[in-house]
Structure formats: C-alpha cells, structure tokens
C-alpha cells in the first residue's frame, strides 16, 4: 500500500499535507479526494460573493501530483428574487 498526500487549495489559501495516508487503490484516492471537498464545503462555506474554488491535489511518495479534484461553487440572486 502506498502513501499519498492530499494538498488543499481554498481560493488563495494552500494547506500542504505533511502526514499523508496509506491508500490501497486509485478508486480510493478519488473517493477520499471527493470526501475532502465535500467536508470543506460543509464545514467552511465560502463567504465570497462571486463563488469559490476548492481543490484537492494528491501527491505520491515521490512528490509528483497524480490526481486532482476541483469544486467550483457559484451563488447569485436571480432577477425575480431581487426585483420582488
């Protein structure tokens, strides 16, 4: 089982995963990445009015990025809602 590192990008903020975790398969890497994104949006809803981009980039033990999952959140008021 190989060790992978899940680096987080929240807009302009970057968090380097220094511990990593042992992951048994590519399918599991994808699943863990999507779970991290889901947790980020649930726990830290973005304040930006124009939306937010969150990204998980996965590195292998050699430091090469092997996978990326990205989520873009956009929110806006519809004309009907703002005009009454």
Give the helix/strand (H/E) hosting 79. helix 79-82
User: Residue 63 carries which DSSP code?
Assistant: S
pTM of the predicted model as reported, rounded to 2 decimal places? 0.82
What is the domain count for the chain?
Answer: 1
pLDDT tens digits, 47-75? 666 678 899 999 999 999 999 999 988 87
DSSP assignments along 2-44, one per residue: EEEEEEEEETTEEE--SS-EEE--HHHHHHHHHHHHHHHHHHS
Domain ranges, residue 76: 2-82
Check residue 76 and give its pLDDT. Answer: 76
Nearest by Cα to 23 from 41, 42, 40, 5: 5
**CA 47/CA 51 separation, integer angstroms:** 8
Average pLDDT in the chain: 88
Judged against a pLDDT cut of 90, whether residue 81 lies above it is answered with: no
Mean pLDDT is lowest, of 9-13, 53-57, 58-62, 78-82, for: 78-82
């Amino acid at each position: 089982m190989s060790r992978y590192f899940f680096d987080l990008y929240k807009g302009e903020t970057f968090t380097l995963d220094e511990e990593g975790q042992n992951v048994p398969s590519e399918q599991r890497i994808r699943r863990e990445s999507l779970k991290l994104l889901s947790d980020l949006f649930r726990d830290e809803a973005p304040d930006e009015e124009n939306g937010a981009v969150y990204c998980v980039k996965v590195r292998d033990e050699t430091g090469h990025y092997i996978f990326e999952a990205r989520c873009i959140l956009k929110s806006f008021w519809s004309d009907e809602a703002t005009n009454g």
